[in-house]
Structure 1
Amino acid sequence: MASSLVFNVRRQQPVLVAPAKPTPHEFKPVSDIDDQEGLRFQTPSVQIYRNHVALRGLNLSQLIQKGLAEALVFYYPLAGRLRARPGGKLVVECTGEGVLFIVAEADVRLEQLGDAPQPPFPCIDELLYDVPGSGAIVDCPLLLIQLTHLKCGGFILGLRFNHVMCDNAGIVKFMHAVAEMIIGARAPSITPVWQRELLDARQPPRITCAHQEYEYKEEAHHPNAASLLAADQMLQRCFFFGAREIATLRNLLPPHLRSCTTTFELLTACLWRCRTAAIAPAPDEEVRVLCVVNTRAKYNPPLPTGYYGNVVAFPAAVSPAGKLCQSPVEYAVELVKKAKADATREYMQSVADLMVVKERPPFKVVRTWMVSDLTRGGSGLVDFGWGVPVYSGPPKSVVGENPGMLSFYVPFRNGKGEEGLVALVCLPEPEMEKFSIEVDSMVDDTNKEKLPVAELVQPLYLPVGE
């Protein structure tokens, strides 16, 4: 989407969509994994759909509201409100009040958004209106959805959910349920399961793993306890990696690592080195990357298929900055692989225990980068009966209170039809330019045939807050 594109949006008044049938009024505690400080934020996403012959003559707004209302009968805690109990523990009061829904019309056509719409979207405030008073964690709607009609007959679905309630896998389950209700199902194909006690701390709690991703009170007065990344003058930028770029980076590895290293591990290791070189900490300063890991597959016996709470871990790969930048790429790859391997069932239990023992410590933010891989998240497969979206994922990389800390990998097909992913990165402007050069250099140094910067680095960037 061109950063210069400006369009007008006419919005109707927000409404609350409640469950289609009466639901229980009760209090449901969230899990100790849900309840951590680092997940107390709102997560935005957008899904962009083309015009489809099946849309002709349909009232899309009524259909989506009907699907929401019917899905909320089964996911009724999402229609409630979070409340804070003494000590800060959060619970859901299942009030049945509903979720926010907005209908809007934009004076643009899908083709004006570019051959391959990609983040960061400069118009996100138009596509996902921040209803006054709706953005807090407690005592607010837990989900906000905006349907924006385009002039061409396509539409954009903006969504913002409270991360305390569910992770990306959980909200995708809900959106698939909405789609099934719209198509005509009487119940979701996967029955939602609450059972948040499955991810609660043990009695008594015992911390059995090292957790370098969290900031403890005894570390709060560390001389470097301030982020190197200022909130102002930040840029967001999208980097495309197709098969050719990934293969080029993979050739940096010794033969024994090439076949057993995932794309996530490879790309995270490479970009971590590039990012560290760009922000240029002292060689002996510690830098870290937190890998967002969906640990559902680690549970035996398995968690219920319909469990839609947070089951994510954030294991850290840690290194002195100088050693990270001066060592071969396999050094960073091995650190990332080990961090991911650390995210076991026992690790998750230890995190839950840590939240109770250490009173919900926040994430470390100093010289920290966090990466969330959404390439297999499933939101791109949500089909309401009118085809899958042409883009599905985050509209920006600025989420929560620490601009520059979080990046996403999102599946993407570029304007040439090449399949790959985009890495959405946020840095201050000088560091962003250095980062771009580092990324380009890492590719060029391993390929005798020079790769144009424009093919690797998409020239789309946007100051934070626009």
Structure 2
Amino acid sequence: MGTLYQAPSEPAIQDLKVTFQDSTLIFPSQETENKSIFLSNIDQVLNFHVQTLHFFPPNPDFPPETVVTRLRNALQKVMVAYDFLAGRLKLNHQTGRLEIECNGSGAGFVVATTEFSLHEIGDLVYPNPAFMQLIVQGLQKFDDEPLCVLQVTSFKCGGFAMGLSTNHILFDGLSFKFFLENLASQAFDDKPISIMPCHDRQLLAARSPPQVTFPHPELLKLKLPIGEEKNLPVFDCKQEDLDFKIFSLSPDNINYLKEKAKAEGTNPTTKITGFNVVTAHVWRCKALSCDIENNRERESMVLYSVDIRSRVKPPLPMSYCGNAVLSAYASAKCAELEDVPFFKIVEMVSAGAARMTDEYAKSAIDWGEVYKGFPNGEFLISSWWRLGFDEVVYPWGTPRYSCPLVYHRKDIILLFPEIGGAKSNGVNILVALPHKEMEKFQSLFHKYLV
């Protein structure tokens, strides 16, 4: 059965004693064109920063001061291909849309040290609020707000953490992985850009006139025009006292769920994948753990992202740089989730992704043109499981571990890899819920694995 990830036996270090040595703006190594970049309706609603951490063990051939120089030069070089990294967001008052103004204002680069060794900061998987010190928070160190800030924090052992804060408008998971590969390539002495990014976001522009050809229960109309409020939450972020736990599914657990689904159903269109069975399992546990009367009659909707690069016609280049993901959904009454065979829940999750055809994706983009709005569901499964950030090869090697900076949110359940990365095939599931709901979730999580 799945296991509960054990919290570190030693209390986590609350203060990493980070000292900032330098904080500056850096600029592309070559002059870039001043221009404005169109942002699609998918991009428009993602005006918030995403922080990722990449931990590297010591490498005697690359002491921290060498790494700092290499990463600074690499970011300057990669900003020629990614000119928007040095730009700024602006609101086009004529259209009421956000745009990126490529004006060469610069990206942030921060150099810091900590008094601790990498092994002293403990478990890298278990969320530690002190890790926030490894990423510039709020970008308060700069007069304006760069779209990208890279912080290098050296540990006394010679290892270091690379913390990246980038506006979600810039990248989805796949385009960020390609960006990391390009950044790493430029840290070598003589490597070209690995994957030349495609910046034509007009490829995902709404049709004229818009044609909303499907109902979109996964989307919620926005009352204010986009751009009039900053950093509106994609989900309602209520302050609650939440327990949080990490649940681990081993490759054997995931294979068990797959085999269970295969034994119960025969629909040839249902894709019984690792992601689909994990999502179905988590959805059932989350829906049934809700602490309200008559929960069985409640409709539960789970959202999960689908990459549309290969689904739209003509297909987008894999190197499309921007957000090419839309929210798929599955919805059912809690009574159904409790009573039906597991295969039926996997079938609903699979059907939700299959629904994302070319026409459905274009209808969703056009819906954003007409109504403006956000994803709308009971909760979102955000998967960092197989993005492969820790497979990126830098001159000093691959990261020991790469992860998002974790926030505890009841409406977002996070899937992320074990140490060892996507190759390990196991998955960690971070859940934050009120105490009574967490107890129920934990009980159901184990019940449905036996």
Q: Does 1:76 align with 2:83?
A: yes
2:277 to 266, 286, 308: 266
In the TM superposition, 1:191-340 aligns within 5 A as: 191-216=196-221, 230-255=238-263, 257=265, 260-281=271-292, 282-340=295-353
2:376 to 329, 351, 364: 364
1:382 to 375, 392, 401: 392
Report the Cα distance in structure 1 between the residues aligned to 2:399 and 2:429, rounded to whole angstroms.
19
One-letter identity of the residue aligned with 2:418: F
Q: Could you say what secondary structure the match of 1:279 adopts?
A: coil
| Alpha-carbon offset, residue 242 of structure 1 | 0.8
Contact 1:27 1:94 in 2 (8 A): yes
Contact 2:125 2:419 in 1 (8 A): no
Give the TM-score normalised by the residue count of structure 1: 0.84
Give the TM-score normalised by the residue count of structure 2: 0.87
Report the Cα distance in structure 1 between the residues aligned to 2:438 and 2:175, rounded to whole angstroms.
33
One-letter identity of the residue aligned with 1:421: V
One-letter identity of the residue aligned with 2:209: P
The aligned residue for residue 100 of structure 1 is: 108
Identical-pair percentage: 28
Q: Does 1:144 align with 2:164?
A: no
| Alpha-carbon offset, residue 419 of structure 1 | 5.2
The aligned residue for residue 345 of structure 1 is: 358
The aligned residue for residue 448 of structure 2 is: 442
Q: Does 1:17 align with 2:22?
A: no
Q: Does 1:44 align with 2:15?
A: no
One-letter identity of the residue aligned with 1:253: A
Q: Does 1:5 align with 2:10?
A: no
One-letter identity of the residue aligned with 1:48: F
Q: Could you say what secondary structure the match of 1:206 adopts?
A: coil
Report the Cα distance in structure 2 between the residues aligned to 1:123 and 1:314, rounded to whole angstroms.
31
Query: Relative to 1, partners in 2 of residues 1:147 and 1:181: Cα closer, same or farther, differing over 3 Å?
Result: same
Q: Does 1:182 align with 2:187?
A: yes
Q: Could you say what secondary structure the match of 1:176 adopts?
A: helix
The aligned residue for residue 407 of structure 1 is: 413
Contact 2:23 2:141 in 1 (8 A): no
In the TM superposition, 1:118-133 aligns within 5 A as: 118-133=125-140
Report the Cα distance in structure 1 between the residues aligned to 2:176 and 2:236, rounded to whole angstroms.
32
RMSD (CA atoms): 2.6
| Alpha-carbon offset, residue 159 of structure 1 | 1.3
Query: Relative to 1, partners in 2 of residues 1:134 and 1:372: Cα closer, same or farther, differing over 3 Å?
Result: farther
Contact 2:23 2:109 in 1 (8 A): yes
| Alpha-carbon offset, residue 300 of structure 1 | 4.3
One-letter identity of the residue aligned with 1:247: N
Q: Could you say what secondary structure the match of 1:261 adopts?
A: coil
| Alpha-carbon offset, residue 149 of structure 1 | 0.8
Question: Which deviates more from structure 2 when the two are superposed, residues 98-107 or residues 199-208?
Answer: 98-107
The aligned residue for residue 170 of structure 1 is: 175
Report the Cα distance in structure 2 between the residues aligned to 1:328 and 1:256, rounded to whole angstroms.
7
Structure 1: stretches of 5+ with no match in the other structure: 219-226, 447-466
Q: Could you say what secondary structure the match of 1:298 adopts?
A: coil
One-letter identity of the residue aligned with 2:374: P
Deviation sequence 1:243-270 (CA, Å, 0-9, x none): 2222333343242659940011101111
| Alpha-carbon offset, residue 56 of structure 1 | 4.0
Counting matched residue pairs gives 423
Which runs of at least 4 in structure 1 moved beyond 6 Å after TM superposition? none
One-letter identity of the residue aligned with 1:288: M
2:74 to 52, 58, 67: 67
| Alpha-carbon offset, residue 131 of structure 1 | 4.3
Report the Cα distance in structure 1 between the residues aligned to 2:184 and 2:173, rounded to whole angstroms.
17
Query: Relative to 1, partners in 2 of residues 1:419 and 1:214: Cα closer, same or farther, differing over 3 Å?
Result: closer
Q: Could you say what secondary structure the match of 1:53 adopts?
A: coil
One-letter identity of the residue aligned with 1:440: H
One-letter identity of the residue aligned with 2:287: T
Q: Could you say what secondary structure the match of 2:332 adopts?
A: strand
The aligned residue for residue 228 of structure 2 is: none
Question: Which deviates more from structure 2 when the two are superposed, residues 244-253 or residues 177-186?
Answer: 244-253
In the TM superposition, 1:18-37 aligns within 5 A as: 18-35=27-44, 37=45
Report the Cα distance in structure 1 between the residues aligned to 2:442 and 2:142, rounded to whole angstroms.
33
Report the Cα distance in structure 2 between the residues aligned to 1:49 and 1:257, rounded to whole angstroms.
45
Q: Does 1:423 align with 2:436?
A: no
One-letter identity of the residue aligned with 1:424: L
Structure 2: stretches of 5+ with no match in the other structure: 1-6, 224-234
One-letter identity of the residue aligned with 2:276: E
